[in-house]
Amino acid sequence: MTIAPDGRSLAGDVVRLDRFVADDIESLYAAIADERVYAGGFGGGPAALPADVDQMRTQWIGATTQRTAYVVRLAGDSELGAAGTVVGTTSLGDVDLANESVHLGWTGYAPAVWGTAVNPACKYLVLRHAFEDCGFERVKIQTGHVNTRSQAAIAKLGATREGVLRHHKKQADGSWRDTVVFSILADEWPDVSKRLLDRINR
């Protein structure tokens, strides 16, 4: 039986994911309110970059009720920061229990952790929850067509590129975003899991 994500905390050696609550806004703003994060289309693109904590609070509080949103924290002290430091966010949404499908997205990290074990560790925890705890058959991951860095990271997971949705979403400045769609299926998860664990352990 397939069940919806329940917001439980997901913990590993590198990161811990906790369900987003309103009190996380200040830490999240400090981590990801950066032009480099929004440049690739995160949150609606560069024009959606919040000017201050209050604007981010307004953007986030209502929107996150439609999905299971997590804050990504460092699990332990490291060169990246102290244990508990918020370094990003990710979500599971667009839940379709009848068709056993879910969307892993709305992901943004502090630039300081780009290229580190944070993303593979985060993806491992969320995908393991989706496939092993919730029983989904398909996990969709997508990104903007201009965000080649994100596309490369998704492909590196072992996800299959399915195609491009043209003029899929309007961004905050009114321009259209073309969306590149990838997916991972349940029978592909063991191989994807091994790849991720190998990257984390390296």
Q: What is the DSSP letter of 81?
A: B
**Topology classification of domain 10-201:** Aminopeptidase (3.40.630)
**Strand, coil or helix: what is 93?**
strand
Average pLDDT rounded to a whole number, residues 64-91: 95
Q: Does position 95 have pLDDT exceeding 90, yes or no?
A: yes
Of the candidates 117, 110, 116, the residue with the CA atom closest to the CA atom of residue 90: 110
Angle, to 10 degrees, between the axis of helix 189-201 and the axis of helix 148-157?
Answer: 110
> CA–CA separation, 67 vs 116, rounded Å?
26
pTM of the model: 0.95
Predicted confidence at residue 1, as pLDDT, reads: 92
The pLDDT confidence band at residue 19, using thresholds 50, 70 and 90, is very high
> CA–CA separation, 44 vs 172, rounded Å?
5
Dihedral (Cα; 34, 162, 97, 107), 10-degree rounding: -10
For the chain, the domains span 10-201
Beta bridge mates, 141: 182
4, amino acid identity: A
Predicted confidence at residue 90, as pLDDT, reads: 97
The answer to whether the CB of 105 falls within 8 A of the CB of 184 is no
